[in-house]
C-alpha cells in the first residue's frame, strides 16, 4: 500500500474510534441502536405503507421503484462484501467496541447507508415534503453504523455513493 492509502486508512480508523467512543454514553448507544434497527427495514417498510395509504394510486410507482431500488442495492452490496471481505472495525481495532449485533462479518460497503440513501432519494423525488423526516433519519442511520462499531466512515461514504448512484440511475428510467 502506498503512503497516501496508509494515511487514509489510519484516518478512517481514527475517526471510527472517536465516533464509536460516543456510544459510551448510554443514551447515545440506545439512540443509535434503535435507529440502526429501524434502518434495517422497518422504517422504510412503514414509509412505503404510509405513502400507499395516503398517496393512493399516485404512490404505486414510487413504492415499486423503492422496492426495485432496494433489491438492486441488496445485490450490489452483497456482491461487493463477498469481493472485498473487509472485516468490521470492532474485529480489527481493540479500541472499537461492537455496540449492536452485526448482520454479517464484513463492513464494506454499508448496506444500511446504501439503502437509506437510495430509498430517500427515490421517495424525495416524488414526495419532497417528507424531507424533514427522511433526511434526518438517513443521516442518523449512516452515523449509527460507525458509532456502533460496525463500519468505518469510508464504508458509509461508499454505501451513500452507491445508494445515490442506484437511485440516480433508476429515476430517469421511470420517466423514460
Between CA 95 and CA 93 the distance in angstroms is 5
**Residue 2 scores a pLDDT above 90:** no
CATH number of domain containing 46: 1.10.606.20
The whole domain housing 123 covers: 3-175
The number of domains in the chain is 1
pLDDT 10s digits, 42-67: 999 999 999 999 999 999 999 999 99
Element (H, E) at 62: helix 60-84
Between CA 60 and CA 68 the distance in angstroms is 12
**Residue 175 scores a pLDDT above 80:** no
Residue 176 binned pLDDT confidence (cut-offs 50, 70, 90)? very low
Place of cell 424533514: 132
Full-model pTM: 0.93
pLDDT 10s digits, 70-108: 999 999 999 999 999 999 999 999 999 999 988 888 999
Place of cell 460516543: 22
Q: Let me know: does 169 contact 30? Beta carbons within 8 Å.
A: no
- The helix/strand/coil state of 87 is strand
C-alpha cell at 19: 465516533
Amino acid at each position: 500500500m502506498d503512503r497516501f492509502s496508509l494515511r487514509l486508512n489510519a484516518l478512517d480508523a481514527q475517526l471510527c474510534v472517536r465516533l464509536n467512543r460516543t456510544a459510551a454514553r448510554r443514551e447515545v448507544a440506545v439512540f443509535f441502536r434503535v435507529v440502526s434497527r429501524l434502518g434495517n427495514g422497518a422504517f422504510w417498510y412503514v414509509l412505503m405503507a404510509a405513502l400507499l395509504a395516503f398517496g393512493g394510486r399516485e404512490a404505486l410507482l414510487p413504492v415499486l421503484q423503492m422496492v426495485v431500488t432496494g433489491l438492486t442495492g441488496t445485490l450490489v452490496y452483497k456482491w461487493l462484501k463477498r469481493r472485498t471481505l473487509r472485516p468490521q472495525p470492532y474485529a480489527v481495532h481493540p479500541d472499537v467496541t461492537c455496540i449492536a449485533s452485526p448482520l454479517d462479518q464484513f463492513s464494506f460497503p454499508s448496506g444500511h447507508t446504501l439503502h437509506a440513501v437510495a430509498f430517500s432519494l427515490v421517495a424525495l423525488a416524488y414526495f419532497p415534503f417528507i424531507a424533514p423526516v427522511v433526511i434526518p433519519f438517513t443521516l442518523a442511520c449512516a452515523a449509527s453504523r460507525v458509532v456502533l462499531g460496525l463500519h468505518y466512515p469510508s464504508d458509509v461514504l461508499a454505501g451513500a455513493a452507491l445508494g445515490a448512484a442506484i437511485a440516480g440511475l433508476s429515476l430517469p428510467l421511470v420517466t423514460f
